[in-house]
Amino acid sequence: MSTQDKTIRLVFPLWQGGNNPVYALGANLLEWLAPATDAPVFHVPVKAPGEPLSVEEGITGRSEINQHLTDAWKIIHEQQPDSIVTLGGDCLVSLAPFAWLSEKYGDKLGVLWIDSHPDIQTPEQFSNAHAHVLGALLGYGDPDLTASVQHPIAAENVMIAGIHDPLPHEAEFLAEKGIATCSPESVRQGADEVTKWMERQGIEFLAIHFDLDVLDPQHFRSVLFAQPGRGKNDFGGVAEGELTMAEVLALVRLATDKAKPVGLTLAEHLPWDALHLKNMLESLPLLGSGK
């Protein structure tokens, strides 16, 4: 990256899109864990959990989500970055950064969406907006989410890696729009589909969305599907992650050898053990509220 390029780091503890306050803790821990940076760091202000969120015109927490997305947009537009690192928060945190990168780099931008799920649902299908974000970036879905996407990303410029067992309406959308996919097994075997996609589309710049729930919950426990006490059918057959960190890192290295990375999002960090330890510490004598 040249010395003229400007990178910003965006800490975005958005939790309303997934309707789960633990996403905010996850974002804050990611900031603490992330390597130090000389790049400017900006914090998107996010309302702390309080009363349960209401469903507004099909979207849970619509008003708060709209305000927080507006705040993220304001930072990005003021800074005019060449590249953006985003530490979230639920998957919706990629909306403003990737929409900005699409405006900046146009059809030379590719989006590598590393996720077990395609995130192309609509309010008619699911009220939690973190599952709508990729569809909105393509220009489909709720108008509050698509309004800020001035240059929708072409479906053929998207690769979803790590996806498996999509729901029927998701599979139909992927096939109809011609969105490329790479299964966990294909990722493990070298991800040829990814390199062929990049060459076919002439991808020069790359935005990478890394949803941590693409990781196998048997190996990485800070994801939704590793929630302590979960029931076998709590998630209604939604696909769980199957990849390891090493496999995802190999995929990212492969892709960034082929194109210049200009966007990186880490999302859906749910640090269950840290949450329960935090709650316990607050109840201990001399340390918290315990006596």
CA neighbours within 13 Å on the CB side: how many for 102?
25
Query: Rounded CA gap, 188 and 216, in Å?
Result: 13
Count of positions (residues) in the chain: 291
61: containing domain: 7-282
List, run by run, the mean pLDDT of 10-residue segments along the chain (291 residues): 82 98 98 98 96 97 98 98 98 98 98 98 97 98 96 98 96 97 98 97 98 96 92 77 98 98 98 96 90 66
User: Tokens in use for 83?
Assistant: 């590249």
Given this model, what pLDDT does residue 3 score?
A: 57
Given this model, what pLDDT does residue 237 score?
A: 74
What does the DSSP 8-state code read for residue 214?
G
Backbone angles phi, psi at 90, to 5 degrees: -75, 175
Whichever domain contains 172, its CATH number is: 3.40.800.10
Q: Look at residues 73, 89, 72 and name the one whose alpha carbon lies nearest to residue 19.
A: 89
Would 258 be classed as within a structural domain?
A: yes
Would 230 be classed as within a structural domain?
A: yes
- Provide the number of structural domains found in the chain: 1
User: Tokens in use for 65?
Assistant: 């989500």
| CA gyration radius, the chain | 18
Would 28 be classed as within a structural domain?
A: yes
Cβ atoms within 10 Å, residue 39: 14
Given this model, what pLDDT does residue 236 score?
A: 72
Q: DSSP alpha helices (H): ranges in 19-80?
A: 22-33, 62-79
Would 2 be classed as within a structural domain?
A: no
Would 109 be classed as within a structural domain?
A: yes
Given this model, what pLDDT does residue 88 score?
A: 98
Query: Rounded CA gap, 63 and 48, in Å?
Result: 14
Given this model, what pLDDT does residue 137 score?
A: 98
Would 291 be classed as within a structural domain?
A: no
Do residues 182 and 114 make contact, with C-beta atoms less than 8 angstroms apart?
no
Tell me which residue has tokens 């930072």. Answer: 75
User: Tokens in use for 219?
Assistant: 């190996």
In the three-class reduction of DSSP (H, G, I as helix; E, B as strand; rest coil), residue 60 is classed as strand
Would 289 be classed as within a structural domain?
A: no
Would 78 be classed as within a structural domain?
A: yes
